[in-house]
């Protein structure tokens, strides 16, 4: 059964080195988190699973990585500077600042319950920078609040250097920064987080069919890669569409407090390329865009057959990597009764996203032959390149099993005295606790089979 309380996940994350409060020793900062030894491994595995599905398993998608800082002009023409804001309401009694659309009841303060609230005002979410010695405090750049815009502004660069016919896509994984009014839900809503986004460029007219295809491809990814059962996920179409969107749907996961967004899928039409292109007048731009006299690049696509130049439509898929990790942990969190008043906590993660792939345990740490044999197993497993493999040399097998159950290590391999004689080791499976005795030479192939892919 998945976690029923996020406090269990928060405690596990701290205890076992997944996630710590940012700036903790100085009192902490709201919405800012640091990732520990197992958190970084798991984030990396989720990024890899996403990249593999979106880039390596396709012919039509390229990857890129833009800078986190970009010119103010990008965010002026993208529309963020004028309208990337949330409605802020302040309680006149206790001073609490709330995001109006996320309040429990929009007529009352979330904390003290008074109805004495200020009218909502737009609160800018972008973090401005004053870059360079001459700026003198004036905002001339921003930390990006999403990865998409820098993908659009590199559209011509990518297409010129790696030509593609429509439809094709460009992806990015990277940090995004938003000055969220009320960070909440642990890593659910952070001020610094990570996104993995696809911008898929299609012929206008093909956009509706492509939108549907991406919806099912993305839903499938959550089920197959993160091990989330279909009944814990749902599509939630947006009731109110952003001015540039023709269609928008969220994928929601059922967290302990209810369903909430983990991914957004949008049909953005020609809004973005139309906003950032030069020569807007020569292109038939469908969307309502700001007049752009600063761009130096024509962000159009030239049809190889007709020679016609036009703006492709964009289907965007955007996940939060931190939210994906959080959802996978909630889903995998299991407390099991073992009888006799004993219980265990186990993280039943899909092996591919587990932070540690295998732990090798010499039964006695003071017997050099055992440690040596365990080290040889570790070396053989590391050669597979599947991820982190640990030597557990504390000598307390019960404790080792408990630790590795809690961090979701799919298998523990024990080397004992008998192993020195018959060349066989014990492989213990995390989920069933079943043990099998196999030849040490078969361990790498068995681990590869368990991890998959
Ligand atoms: P919300 O409505 O929750 O503020 P959004 O619709 O603005 O989110 P998008 O801009 O579509 O979010 O971003 C895509 C994904 O990035 C979201 O589905 C979510 O997983 C993630 N994300 C967005 N904001 C945050 C945040 N503050 N902290 C962590 N992840 C976030």
Q: Which pLDDT score, from 0 to 100, does residue 453 have?
A: 64
Nearest-5° Cα angle at 436, 1 to 369? 120
Per-residue pLDDT for 450 more than 90?
yes
Ligand 1, atom 5: closest residue by C-alpha: 264
Pairing outcome for strands 192-202 and 313-320 = antiparallel
Ligand 1, atom 30: closest residue by C-alpha: 320
Omega into 408 within 30° of 0, i.e. cis?
no
Q: Which pLDDT score, from 0 to 100, does residue 91 have?
A: 94
Ligand 1, atom 31: closest residue by C-alpha: 320
Domains annotated on the chain, with CATH:
6-81+145-329 (3.30.930.10), 354-451 (3.40.50.800)
Q: Are 227 and 155 in contact (CB under 8 A)?
A: no
Query: Three-state SS string across the chain, please?
Result: CCCCCHHHHHHHHHHCCCEEECCHHHCCCCCCEEECHHHHHHHHHHHHHHHHHHHHCCCCEEECCCCCEEEHHHHHHCCHHHHCEEEEEEECCCCCEEEHHHCCCCCCCCCCCCCCECCCEEEECCEEECCCCCCCCCCCEEECCCCHHHHHCCHHHHHHHCCCCCCEEEEEEEEEECCCCCCECCCCECCEEEEEEEEEEECCCCHHHHHHHHHHHHHHHHHHHHCCCHHHEEEEECCCCCCCCCEEEEEEEEECCEEEEEEEEEEEECHHHHHHCCCHHHCCCCCCCCCCCCCCCCCCEECCCCCCEECCEEEEEEEEHHHHHHHHHHHHEEEEEEECCEEEEEECCCHHHCCEEEEEEECCCCCHHHHHHHHHHHHHHHCCCCCEEEECCCCCHHHHHHHHHHHCCCEEEEECHHHHHHCEEEEEECCCCCEEEEEHHHHHHHHHHHHCC
* Tens-place pLDDT, residues 95-153: 999 999 889 899 999 999 999 999 999 999 999 999 988 878 899 999 999 999 999 99
- Phi-psi region for residue 385, left (φ > 0), alpha (ψ -120 to 50) or beta? left
* Tens-place pLDDT, residues 31-84: 999 999 999 999 999 999 999 999 999 999 999 999 999 999 999 999 999 989
Residue 314: phi, psi to the nearest 5?
-125, 130
* Tens-place pLDDT, residues 310-365: 999 999 999 999 999 999 999 999 999 998 899 999 999 999 999 999 999 999 98
Hey, which of 84, 183, 195 would you mutate to test ligand 1's pocket, going by the most ligand atoms within 8 Å of its Cβ? 195
CA of 320 to the centre of ligand 1 (A): 6
CA of 149 to the centre of ligand 1 (A): 15
CA of 384 to the centre of ligand 1 (A): 35
pTM score, whole prediction = 0.95
CA of 295 to the centre of ligand 1 (A): 28
Count other Cβ atoms within 10 Å, centred on residue 179: 17
CA of 13 to the centre of ligand 1 (A): 21
Side-by-side strand order, sheet with 313-320 = 61-63, 168-177, 192-202, 313-320, 258-269, 247-255, 233-237
Which pLDDT band holds residue 296 (cuts at 50, 70, 90)? very high
CA of 322 to the centre of ligand 1 (A): 10
CA of 390 to the centre of ligand 1 (A): 34
Ligand 1, atom 2: closest residue by C-alpha: 261
* Tens-place pLDDT, residues 214-226: 999 999 999 999 9
Ligand 1, atom 29: closest residue by C-alpha: 189
Which carries the bigger pLDDT value, residue 393 or residue 387?
387
Which carries the bigger pLDDT value, residue 395 or residue 317?
317
Long-range contacts of 20-29 (CB under 8 A, 24+ apart): 29/191
Q: Which ligand 1 atom is at minimum distance from the Cα of 180? A: 27
* Tens-place pLDDT, residues 422-438: 999 999 999 999 999 99
Percent of the chain with pLDDT over 90: 91
Q: Which pLDDT score, from 0 to 100, does residue 137 have?
A: 85
Q: Which ligand 1 atom is at minimum distance from the Cα of 189? A: 28
Per-residue pLDDT for 203 more than 80?
yes
Hey, which of 86, 183, 218, 323 would you mutate to test ligand 1's pocket, going by the most ligand atoms within 8 Å of its Cβ? 323
DSSP assignment, residue 26?
Answer: G
Which pLDDT band holds residue 404 (cuts at 50, 70, 90)? very high
Ligand 1, atom 4: closest residue by C-alpha: 189
Mean pLDDT for the stretch of residues 398-407? 95
Q: Which two tokens stand for residue 317?
A: 């898929």
Which pLDDT band holds residue 182 (cuts at 50, 70, 90)? confident
Ligand 1, atom 14: closest residue by C-alpha: 318
Percent of the chain with pLDDT over 70: 100
Ligand 1, atom 9: closest residue by C-alpha: 264
Q: Which pLDDT score, from 0 to 100, does residue 2 have?
A: 83
Q: Which pLDDT score, from 0 to 100, does residue 226 have?
A: 96
CA of 333 to the centre of ligand 1 (A): 23
- The mean predicted confidence, pLDDT, of the chain is 95
Hey, which of 99, 193, 194, 235 would you mutate to test ligand 1's pocket, going by the most ligand atoms within 8 Å of its Cβ? 193
In 35-166, alpha helices (H): 37-51, 72-77, 80-83, 148-152, 155-161
Q: Which pLDDT score, from 0 to 100, does residue 320 have?
A: 98
């Amino acid at each position: 059964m998945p976690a029923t309380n996020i406090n269990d996940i928060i405690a596990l994350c701290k205890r076992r080195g997944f996630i710590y409060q940012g700036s903790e020793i100085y009192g902490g900062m709201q919405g800012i988190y640091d990732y520990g030894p197992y958190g970084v491994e798991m984030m990396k595995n989720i990024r890899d699973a996403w990249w593999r599905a979106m880039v390596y398993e396709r012919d039509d998608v390229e990857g890129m990585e833009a800078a986190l800082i970009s010119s103010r002009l990008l965010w002026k023409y993208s529309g963020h500077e004028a309208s990337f804001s949330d409605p802020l309401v302040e309680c006149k009694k206790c001073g609490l600042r709330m995001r109006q659309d996320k309040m429990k009841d929009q007529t009352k303060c979330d904390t003290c319950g008074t109805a004495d609230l200020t009218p909502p005002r737009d609160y800018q979410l972008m973090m401005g920078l004053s870059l360079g010695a001459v700026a003198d405090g004036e905002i001339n750049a921003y930390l990006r609040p999403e990865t998409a815009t820098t993908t659009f502004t590199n559209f011509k660069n990518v297409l010129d250097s790696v030509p593609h016919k429509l439809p094709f896509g460009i992806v990015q994984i990277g940090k995004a920064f938003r000055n969220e009014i009320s960070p909440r839900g642990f890593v659910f809503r952070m001020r610094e987080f990570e996104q993995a986004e696809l911008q898929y460029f299609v012929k206008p007219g093909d956009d509706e069919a492509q939108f549907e295809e991406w919806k099912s491809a993305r839903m499938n990814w959550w089920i197959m890669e993160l091990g989330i059962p279909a009944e814990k996920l749902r599509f939630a179409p947006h009731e109110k569409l952003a001015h540039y969107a023709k269609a928008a749907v969220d994928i929601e996961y059922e967290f302990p407090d209810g369903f909430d967004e983990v991914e957004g899928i949008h049909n953005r039409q020609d809004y973005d390329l139309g906003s950032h292109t030069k020569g807007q007048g020569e292109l038939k731009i469908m969307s309502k865009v700001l007049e752009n006299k600063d761009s130096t690049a024509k962000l159009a696509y030239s049809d190889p057959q007709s020679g016609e130049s036009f703006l492709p439509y964009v289907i965007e898929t955007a996940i939060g990597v931190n939210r994906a990790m959080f959802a996978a942990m909630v889903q995998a969190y299991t407390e099991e009764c073992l009888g006799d008043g004993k219980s265990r906590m186990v993280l039943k993660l899909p092996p591919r996203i587990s932070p540690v792939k295998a732990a090798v345990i010499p039964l006695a740490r003071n017997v050099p032959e055992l440690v040596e044999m365990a080290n040889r197993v570790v070396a053989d497993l590391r050669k597979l390149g599947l991820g982190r493999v640990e030597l557990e040399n504390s000598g307390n097998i019960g404790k080792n099993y408990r630790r590795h159950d809690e961090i979701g290590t799919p298998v523990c391999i024990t080397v004992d005295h008998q192993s020195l004689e018959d060349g066989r080791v014990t492989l213990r499976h995390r989920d069933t606790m079943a043990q099998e005795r196999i030849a040490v030479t078969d361990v790498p192939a068995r681990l590869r089979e368990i991890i998959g892919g």
